[in-house]
Amino acid sequence: MKTIITSVLAATLLTTTMAYADGFKRIKKAADFETLVIGKTLNFEGGNAVIKADGKTSGKLKKQGKYHGAWAWQNGYYCRNLIISGKETGTNCQLAEWNGKNLRLTRDKGKGRVTMIAIK
Protein backbone atom coordinates (compact mmCIF):
# COMPACT_ATOMS: atom_id res chain seq x y z
CA MET A 1 0.00 0.00 0.00
CA LYS A 2 2.82 2.39 0.90
CA THR A 3 4.44 1.74 -2.51
CA ILE A 4 1.19 2.57 -4.33
CA ILE A 5 0.72 5.84 -2.45
CA THR A 6 4.34 6.82 -3.08
CA SER A 7 3.98 6.01 -6.80
CA VAL A 8 0.78 8.04 -7.12
CA LEU A 9 2.32 10.99 -5.29
CA ALA A 10 5.45 10.88 -7.47
CA ALA A 11 3.36 10.71 -10.65
CA THR A 12 1.26 13.67 -9.51
CA LEU A 13 4.32 15.79 -8.73
CA LEU A 14 5.96 14.85 -12.02
CA THR A 15 2.83 15.78 -13.99
CA THR A 16 2.52 19.11 -12.18
CA THR A 17 6.18 19.93 -12.84
CA MET A 18 5.88 18.95 -16.50
CA ALA A 19 2.85 21.22 -16.96
CA TYR A 20 4.97 24.27 -16.10
CA ALA A 21 8.25 23.03 -17.61
CA ASP A 22 7.35 24.74 -20.91
CA GLY A 23 7.34 28.14 -19.22
CA PHE A 24 3.63 28.93 -19.71
CA LYS A 25 1.83 30.61 -16.84
CA ARG A 26 -1.89 31.11 -16.52
CA ILE A 27 -3.25 34.60 -17.09
CA LYS A 28 -5.60 35.15 -14.17
CA LYS A 29 -6.62 38.80 -14.48
CA ALA A 30 -8.63 40.50 -17.21
CA ALA A 31 -6.29 43.51 -17.15
CA ASP A 32 -3.25 41.31 -17.87
CA PHE A 33 -5.02 39.60 -20.77
CA GLU A 34 -6.22 42.90 -22.19
CA THR A 35 -2.76 44.49 -22.00
CA LEU A 36 -1.36 41.55 -23.89
CA VAL A 37 -3.89 41.25 -26.74
CA ILE A 38 -6.10 44.33 -27.23
CA GLY A 39 -5.69 45.78 -30.71
CA LYS A 40 -2.89 43.42 -31.69
CA THR A 41 -2.91 40.81 -34.45
CA LEU A 42 -3.00 37.28 -33.09
CA ASN A 43 -1.57 34.81 -35.60
CA PHE A 44 -2.25 31.10 -35.31
CA GLU A 45 -1.98 28.11 -37.62
CA GLY A 46 -5.55 28.44 -38.88
CA GLY A 47 -5.59 32.21 -39.43
CA ASN A 48 -5.58 35.42 -37.41
CA ALA A 49 -7.67 37.46 -35.00
CA VAL A 50 -7.94 40.92 -33.51
CA ILE A 51 -9.47 41.30 -30.05
CA LYS A 52 -10.87 44.78 -29.42
CA ALA A 53 -11.44 46.74 -26.21
CA ASP A 54 -15.17 47.13 -26.99
CA GLY A 55 -15.80 43.39 -26.57
CA LYS A 56 -15.72 42.59 -30.26
CA THR A 57 -13.37 40.32 -32.16
CA SER A 58 -12.79 39.62 -35.82
CA GLY A 59 -10.36 37.84 -38.05
CA LYS A 60 -9.83 35.50 -40.94
CA LEU A 61 -9.62 31.74 -41.03
CA LYS A 62 -7.67 30.02 -43.80
CA LYS A 63 -10.47 27.58 -44.62
CA GLN A 64 -13.64 29.50 -43.71
CA GLY A 65 -12.78 33.13 -44.45
CA LYS A 66 -13.66 36.17 -42.37
CA TYR A 67 -15.44 35.93 -39.03
CA HIS A 68 -16.60 38.23 -36.26
CA GLY A 69 -17.96 37.90 -32.78
CA ALA A 70 -17.93 38.99 -29.16
CA TRP A 71 -15.65 38.25 -26.24
CA ALA A 72 -15.50 38.80 -22.48
CA TRP A 73 -13.27 37.84 -19.55
CA GLN A 74 -15.33 35.64 -17.23
CA ASN A 75 -14.17 33.97 -14.02
CA GLY A 76 -10.54 33.82 -15.15
CA TYR A 77 -11.22 32.65 -18.72
CA TYR A 78 -11.28 34.24 -22.17
CA CYS A 79 -14.81 33.56 -23.42
CA ARG A 80 -15.84 34.15 -27.00
CA ASN A 81 -18.79 33.56 -29.30
CA LEU A 82 -18.01 33.73 -33.01
CA ILE A 83 -20.01 33.92 -36.21
CA ILE A 84 -18.25 31.97 -38.95
CA SER A 85 -19.82 31.64 -42.40
CA GLY A 86 -23.05 33.02 -40.95
CA LYS A 87 -23.23 30.41 -38.18
CA GLU A 88 -22.87 31.12 -34.47
CA THR A 89 -20.34 28.86 -32.73
CA GLY A 90 -21.74 29.26 -29.24
CA THR A 91 -19.76 30.55 -26.29
CA ASN A 92 -16.54 28.78 -25.42
CA CYS A 93 -14.40 29.80 -22.45
CA GLN A 94 -10.69 29.21 -22.82
CA LEU A 95 -7.76 28.96 -20.46
CA ALA A 96 -5.21 31.65 -21.39
CA GLU A 97 -1.48 31.14 -20.74
CA TRP A 98 1.60 33.18 -21.66
CA ASN A 99 5.29 32.27 -21.76
CA GLY A 100 6.68 35.70 -22.61
CA LYS A 101 6.63 34.94 -26.33
CA ASN A 102 3.44 33.08 -27.23
CA LEU A 103 -0.13 32.92 -26.02
CA ARG A 104 -1.68 29.50 -25.53
CA LEU A 105 -5.48 29.21 -25.48
CA THR A 106 -7.04 25.91 -24.44
CA ARG A 107 -10.73 25.48 -25.20
CA ASP A 108 -13.35 24.18 -22.79
CA LYS A 109 -11.77 25.85 -19.74
CA GLY A 110 -8.44 24.13 -20.29
CA LYS A 111 -9.75 20.68 -21.22
CA GLY A 112 -10.09 21.03 -24.99
CA ARG A 113 -8.03 21.71 -28.09
CA VAL A 114 -4.99 23.97 -27.78
CA THR A 115 -4.25 26.94 -30.04
CA MET A 116 -0.75 28.46 -30.02
CA ILE A 117 -0.71 32.15 -30.90
CA ALA A 118 2.03 34.59 -31.90
CA ILE A 119 1.17 38.21 -31.08
CA LYS A 120 2.21 41.00 -33.46
Q: What is the pLDDT along the chain (120 residues), one digit of tens a residue?
A: 555 444 443 444 343 334 456 899 999 999 999 999 999 999 999 999 999 999 999 999 999 999 999 999 999 999 999 999 999 999 999 999 999 999 999 999 999 999 999 999
Give the bridge partners for 41, in sequence order. Answer: 50
- H or E, element range at 79: strand 77-84
Cβ atoms of residues 116 and 44 within 8 Å: yes
Domain ranges of the chain: 23-119
Pick the CATH number of 23-119 from 2.60.40, 2.30.29, 2.40.128, 1.25.40: 2.40.128
Instruction: Tell me the C-alpha distance between 94 and 104, whole Å.
Output: 9
pTM given for the model: 0.80
φ/ψ region of 99 (left if φ > 0, alpha if ψ in -120 to 50, else beta) reads: alpha
Cβ atoms of residues 94 and 77 within 8 Å: yes
